[in-house]
Amino acid sequence: MPEIVVGRDEEDLRKYGSEGTIYIGKHLVGTGEESHLTTPVLLDVLRPHIICLTGKRGAGKSFSLGVFVEEIHKLPEKVRNNLCCLIIDTQGIFWTMKSPNEKELVLLKDWGMKPQGFPVNVYVPEGQESIFSSAGVEYDSTFSLHPSEFSAEDWLNVFGLAANETLGILLQRAFKKLKGKFGIDDIISTVKSQEGFGTEKLSLENYFEAAKLWGIFGDSKMPEVLEPGKLTVIDVSLTPQNVRALLVSLVCEKVLEERILARRQEELAEIELSSLKRIPMPWILIDEAHNFLPSEGSTAATEVLNRIVKEGRQPGVTLVLATQRPEKLHPDALAQCDLIVSHQLTAKSDIDALRSIMQTYMLYDIGKYISELPKLKGVAIILDDNSERIYKVRMRTRQSWHAGASPVAV
């Protein structure tokens, strides 16, 4: 059966055929309830991509993120070892990928697949360990940051303070005095020792006291993401949003810098794709990405994510941004997407956002394509900038357990 390969241009298609692709779903032909599934749809993983995964609540975004990760793990070793995944889990739903999806045995059979667990490496913040264990979450390791790894700007950012307000000025003054490795208590005592501030010292002290409760501080211990074939899940579900953004920025910066360095070495040594020594090319998958890379304002993660969007191709970093609201995602990120997987969307402004970035699709009415999708979970349209084509698809069922299902009241 002929296959559809998305995310691959004609030249690569001639060169590689369907090698180095993952099986994400099947082509949907026909409209509405008359639709039927035809050819397999494969996604290129040999090249870096910027993928926007969108759709309204419960349409299948997180589920599809999991499909990408499962498929990357199932690749032949020589390809898999050149890749790795980093999932930013904002809802605490990816640890269940360790277990097989027994409840969808029948659906899986239709896809010629069996339930299967996947070896995701789940990291939770060190100071939140007891909460995760008492909730029965199967995590593998913890991560932590040392308070001295945060710059004055980082603290301003997570506290939501402006640099020119009194508290901001106090914080920056205190930081000028801090050297080497210092803890939160050192920061507090330096704040207290500043001259010329009144009650502001107490207010700022309270901010830092509250930060101790985030549960992310300890001796600096960040996950090793760039290991061949490794599937890393960073669970930030219990971490406040501003702090999540800072964590994402620190992890992504490290990953990007390491890959930039590795790329330089690869170019020097002209290492072939089959070489096992290569530092793998990461797929960074971010759920609820508009909270990290919003269209208005910025977060601690905005800068590094925009850098990946603009410069990530050369070092081979793929970004998958899942969001309910494409309109709320940074316009630069949307504009650079080479692939959009859009599950059901209803807001006109969101459909317009997709339309406006994919100028090449002016010939197609994206809104019409979306409205033609049958009322089934996991259906989507794919806009592929590499082939300048648009497809209706049904994403395949997950082999691993998906924890994101809606609860029922009875």
Ligand X SMILES: Nc1ncnc2c1ncn2[C@@H]1O[C@H](COP(=O)(O)OP(=O)(O)OP(=O)(O)O)[C@@H](O)[C@H]1O
Q: How far is the CB of 322 from Mg ion (least distance, A)?
A: 7
Closer CB to Mg ion, 62 or 399, in the complex: 62
Residues ≥6 apart with Cβ < 8 Å to 73: 80, 118, 119, 229, 231
SS3 assignment, position 218: coil
Closer CB to ligand X, 70 or 200, in the complex: 70
| Closest-CA residue to 253 (of 310, 309, 305, 318) | 305
Q: Where along the sequence are the contacts to ligand X (CB under 6 A)?
A: 55, 57-63, 324, 377-378, 395, 397, 402, 404-405
Q: How far is the CB of 25 from ligand X (least distance, A)?
A: 7
Closer CB to ligand X, 55 or 315, in the complex: 55
Cα dist. 53→59, 288, 337, 383, 384 in Å? 11, 10, 10, 11, 12
Closer CB to Mg ion, 87 or 137, in the complex: 87
Q: How far is the CB of 168 from ligand X (least distance, A)?
A: 35
First-to-last alpha carbon distance for the chain, in angstroms, is 44
Count the helices and strands in the chain (H runs, E runs): 14, 13
| Closest-CA residue to 26 (of 49, 3, 10, 7) | 3
- The pair phi, psi for residue 96, each rounded to 5°, is -70, -5
Closer CB to ligand X, 282 or 404, in the complex: 404
Supply the DSSP string of 77-100, one letter for each residue.
HHHHTTEEEEEEESSS-SGGGGSB
* Residue 57, contacted partner among ligand X, Mg ion, none, CB below 5-8 A by kind: ligand X
Cα dist. 133→94, 120, 140, 220, 381 in Å? 15, 17, 11, 21, 39
Closer CB to ligand X, 162 or 376, in the complex: 376
Closer CB to Mg ion, 61 or 230, in the complex: 61
Closer CB to ligand X, 357 or 379, in the complex: 379
* Residue 27, contacted partner among ligand X, Mg ion, none, CB below 5-8 A by kind: none
Q: How far is the CB of 332 from ligand X (least distance, A)?
A: 23
Q: How far is the CB of 156 from Mg ion (least distance, A)?
A: 30
* Residue 405, contacted partner among Mg ion, ligand X, none, CB below 5-8 A by kind: ligand X
Q: Alpha helix locations (H) across 21-151?
A: 61-74, 77-80, 105-110, 129-134
* Residue 397, contacted partner among Mg ion, ligand X, none, CB below 5-8 A by kind: ligand X
Residue sitting closest to ligand X (CB): 378
* Residue 402, contacted partner among ligand X, Mg ion, none, CB below 5-8 A by kind: ligand X
The distance from CA 2 to its chain's CA centroid, rounded to whole angstroms, is 31
* Residue 378, contacted partner among ligand X, Mg ion, none, CB below 5-8 A by kind: ligand X
239 contributes a contact to Mg ion by CB under 5 A: no
Q: How many residues does the chain have?
A: 410
Q: How far is the CB of 403 from ligand X (least distance, A)?
A: 8
∠14-359-382 over CA atoms, to 5°? 55
54 contributes a contact to Mg ion by CB under 5 A: no
* Residue 232, contacted partner among ligand X, Mg ion, none, CB below 5-8 A by kind: none
Q: How far is the CB of 275 from ligand X (least distance, A)?
A: 35
Closer CB to ligand X, 268 or 409, in the complex: 409
62 contributes a contact to Mg ion by CB under 5 A: yes
| Region of 54-62, 66-74, 204-212, 228-236 interacting with Mg ion (CB under 5 A) | 54-62
The sign of the dihedral angle between the CA atoms of 224, 229, 235, 241 is positive
* Residue 60, contacted partner among ligand X, Mg ion, none, CB below 5-8 A by kind: ligand X
For residues 9 and 388, give the distance between their C-alpha atoms in angstroms, rounded to a whole number.
9
Q: How far is the CB of 23 from Mg ion (least distance, A)?
A: 21
Q: How far is the CB of 408 from ligand X (least distance, A)?
A: 12
Q: How far is the CB of 305 from Mg ion (least distance, A)?
A: 19
CB of 400 within 8 A of CB of 100?
yes
Closer CB to Mg ion, 53 or 358, in the complex: 53
CB of 361 within 8 A of CB of 374?
no
Q: Where do contacts with Mg ion occur on this chain (CB under 5 A)?
A: 61-62
